[in-house]
Amino acid sequence: MKKRLLISISVAAVFCIVFLISNVVKAATLQDRLWGNDRYQTNCKIVDSGWTSSQYAVIASGEGFADALCAAPLAEQYKAPILLTGKDALSIESKDQLSKLKVEKVFIIGGTGVISDNVKSQIESMGIETTRVYGQDRFETSIKVAKNLKSVNGVVVTNGYGFADALSIAPVAAQKGMPILLTDKDDLPAVTKEFLADKSFNESYIVGGTGVVGIKINSYLKNPVRLEGLSRYETNAAVLNYFTDKFNYDKVYVASGESYPDALSGSVLAASSNSPLVLVGNSIDPSVMDSVKAKQDKYNNVIVLGGTAVVTDAAVNDIATGVVTSETMERIRKTGKLVLGTSADYPPYEFHKSINGSDEIVGFDIEIAKQISKDLGVQLEIKDIKFDGLLAALDQGKVDLVISGMSPTTERQKHVEFSNIYYKEVQTIVVRASDKNMLRSTSDFKGKILGVQRGSIEEVIAKEQIPAAQPMVFTTISDLVLALKNSKVDGVVLEEPIAKSNVDANNDIVMSDIKLSNEYAGSAAVMKKGSIDLVKEVNKTLDRLKNNNSIDKFVLDASELMTY
């Protein structure tokens, strides 16, 4: 087999429920996806999920996050939903909710610059009492909201110019009755310092690193705990980890970390059940996924806030199962096909054969690939690529899987994922028939020219075990054999099955008695780095084929195809 080795290649590390759920002991249930055609419809669906009636409601801007961020603790205090509206007119959805819930009192968060008096008048015309909670800026507004809390059991401080960190902590702050105080990076606003000086509490949290909330701000807080990360998602993970034993995991909420409305709308819903809020982007950040995995066995129901455009089905499945859907598996699911990369010049592993007048790629590697695609429930597409270009094609996403007699060397394992070994073999040296008696051991090749295939494991073996020989590199096996027959080389290093097939086809070359092998003996399927989900599926198929001796049959059938 061609234990083919690419000496240097740069391979970048980079939903299908059917593929994944079988690989975990327990998967949470996707209970619901709460979404609409826009943020206001999504907000309406979230409110429908949590409330059938409410004396109070909190109105926040659906257009800007600055004042809205601090609304969750106030809403939770009154067991009230957060309703979103535009600046100049009450959204139709919020108007309908106010009527349906029979709301009597509304808190409007923010000044007329974010929610106009026209909105206030519209609400009051419905016979609803309004209280506007606002300050001269976002920082003072957060203090005004805090002053409307009946008791302050601690505080949360976070940067007022970004929304993600505040959203991560919002359900916790709401559940604990802690106001969310907004700050600039370098120092607390004067109004915030005055508020803190007048309060007595022993629990305080800073959400965000010193790049967004400076170290100086620690001095104004009592026993501050900083929850931070290098990104909004690492900070979300820090919140999930710190409060990991405080959450109730019967319900787990998932929202986009790229915009604020859905997560803000759902923050009170999460707080009401003491549930975690997991933030995701186009994919799930590794740090967040680590937090999910740590408690995934306790997850019962996953509830998504927002449509598939903001929280993909793949991300939800990852959270429900605790297994990351790789880029490769997602592509296979979407296209309905598995693209195999192979170098079809290596019988009986993979080679071209005319069958009923049609050129086909056959071999036992191909039969294995057919079984993998069958188990995945997709079609198989085969791409014939030169061996030294296979890993580059894998890296570039041109193929999903490489099966081409490739060995899981230490160097390769740094860059790609390997399946379990599916076939083992040894190497030999093929020589001209006239030279067999002269070339009987590796020492006889001192000063001789040995042909090897470029990028193959045979190239490594020749250099390691026959250092006195001079290697000559060729691209294909046919080039190697032709060079031997034309006396350009004195021998060629091949795997035994490959050697046998070429000797059987050529009367003037023979297999020597030399046997070569090394620690990398054995062939494995190759996948892109990080495609652990696909690796598991491939290994399941390989285990089945090995257990019922199918691979041995595939090898025999492929060898017979070579003879006619």
Q: Does residue 115 register a pLDDT over 60?
A: yes
Q: Does residue 457 register a pLDDT over 80?
A: no
Least confident of 28-32, 63-67, 515-519: 515-519
Give the Cα-Cα-Cα angle 142, 145, 149 (nearest 5 degrees).
135
**pTM of the entire structure?**
0.64
User: For residues 291 and 346, is the Cβ–Cβ distance under 8 A?
Assistant: no
The CATH number of domain 330-423+528-561 is 3.40.50.300: no
| Mean pLDDT computed over 483-488 | 96
The confidence score (pLDDT) of residue 20 equals 36
Q: Does residue 347 register a pLDDT over 90?
A: no
- Residue 6: which pLDDT band, with cuts at 50, 70 and 90? very low
Least confident of 192-196, 318-322, 380-384, 514-518: 514-518
HEC sequence for 235-261: HHHHHHHHCCCCCCCCEEEEEECCCCH
Residue 128: count of CB within 10 angstroms of its CB: 17
What does DSSP say about strands 224-227 and 204-207: parallel, antiparallel, or unpaired?
A: parallel
- Rounded to whole angstroms, the Cα distance separating 425 from 411 reads 20
DSSP 9-24: --------HHHHGGGS
Which tens digit of pLDDT belongs to each residue from 459-475? 888 898 999 999 999 98
Higher pLDDT, 424 or 82: 82
Q: Where are the alpha helices (DSSP H) in 158-296?
A: 164-176, 190-197, 232-242, 261-272, 286-295
Which tens digit of pLDDT belongs to each residue from 312-332? 988 998 999 888 888 899 899
- Rounded to whole angstroms, the Cα distance separating 337 from 16 reads 13
| Mean pLDDT computed over 365-394 | 96
- Rounded to whole angstroms, the Cα distance separating 441 from 469 reads 12
Higher pLDDT, 384 or 325: 384
Q: Would you say the CATH fold of 427-516 matches that of 330-423+528-561?
A: yes
Which tens digit of pLDDT belongs to each residue from 502-529? 898 899 999 999 988 766 568 999 999 9
The residue assigned the tokens 């991300």 is 315
| Mean pLDDT computed over 221-243 | 96
Q: Does residue 534 register a pLDDT over 70?
A: yes
User: For residues 270 and 253, is the Cβ–Cβ distance under 8 A?
Assistant: yes
- Residue 17: which pLDDT band, with cuts at 50, 70 and 90? very low
- Rounded to whole angstroms, the Cα distance separating 490 from 449 reads 5
- Rounded to whole angstroms, the Cα distance separating 242 from 310 reads 26
- Rounded to whole angstroms, the Cα distance separating 31 from 284 reads 19
| Mean pLDDT computed over 199-204 | 88
- Residue 515, φ and ψ in degrees, nearest 5: -115, 130
- Rounded to whole angstroms, the Cα distance separating 136 from 437 reads 97
The confidence score (pLDDT) of residue 424 equals 84
The confidence score (pLDDT) of residue 3 equals 41
The confidence score (pLDDT) of residue 532 equals 87
Q: Does residue 344 register a pLDDT over 90?
A: yes
- Rounded to whole angstroms, the Cα distance separating 254 from 34 reads 10
The confidence score (pLDDT) of residue 501 equals 81
The confidence score (pLDDT) of residue 13 equals 32
| Mean pLDDT computed over 535-563 | 89
Q: Which CATH class is domain 427-516?
A: alpha beta
- Residue 402: which pLDDT band, with cuts at 50, 70 and 90? very high
Half-sphere exposure of 376 (CA within 13 A, CB side): 33
- Residue 563: which pLDDT band, with cuts at 50, 70 and 90? low
Please give the structure tokens belonging to residue 507.
């009367």
- Rounded to whole angstroms, the Cα distance separating 62 from 82 reads 10
DSSP β-bridge partners for residue 59: 83, 108
Q: Where are the domains of the chain?
A: 27-325, 330-423+528-561, 427-516
Higher pLDDT, 388 or 23: 388
User: For residues 75 and 170, is the Cβ–Cβ distance under 8 A?
Assistant: no
| Mean pLDDT computed over 489-497 | 91
DSSP 66-95: TTGGG-HHHHHHTT--EEEE-SSS--HHHH
Percent pLDDT > 90 in the chain is 77
What does DSSP say about strands 155-159 and 204-207: parallel, antiparallel, or unpaired?
A: parallel
User: For residues 155 and 205, is the Cβ–Cβ distance under 8 A?
Assistant: yes
